[in-house]
Amino acid sequence: MRVRFTLLAMAVQLPFAPVVQAVPGGQIGTLPTGFYRCEMQGADTSLAPVHVPDNDFRVRLSSSYSVDGRRGSYLLTGDRMVITGGPFEGQEFLRISESSLRKLNSELQPGNIICSLGSAGKVEATG
């Protein structure tokens, strides 16, 4: 009798159990906040990277970023970041370390621009 009651109780709870599914691309996360300076890596690794200021951005709280005072949003799943709104909407990056991203090209392959969190770089006005 006890076994039947336990099975009945489990059957009643099943429809109310939360459904847990994996997120395509990996776990949802956020980037460390701060200024990301972007540089173009040359084909010749002996050359110093060249700063590409048009790609610089500041990561803010709650999956948001800003460029020259204009705000946008991003989605980080696993090691892939997609800009979902704002001035860089549609751009995609591959996370290569805790604080560095490699911009993906139009074929969604790793390109030659790397954006890294650091204290160096321009100071952006808050806004």
pLDDT tens-digit readout, 39-74: 998 766 668 899 999 999 999 999 999 999 999 999
Specify the pLDDT at position 2.
52
- Tell me the three state secondary structure of residue 125: coil
Q: How do residues 23-32 score in pLDDT, each as one tens digit? A: 567 899 999 9
Backbone phi and psi for residue 121, each to the nearest 5 degrees, phi listed first: 115, 180
Examine residue 83 and state whether it is found in any structural domain, yes or no.
Answer: yes
Q: Is residue 19 part of a domain?
A: no
The rounded distance, in Å, linking the Cα atoms of 93 and 31 is 12
The answer to whether position 101 is within a domain reads yes
- What is the overall mean pLDDT for the chain? 82
Domain count across the chain? 1
DSSP structure string for 25-94: TS-EE-PPPEEEEEEEPPSSTTSPPEE-GGG-EEEETTTEEEETTEEEEEEEETTEEEEEESTTTT-EEE
Domain containing residue 113? 25-117
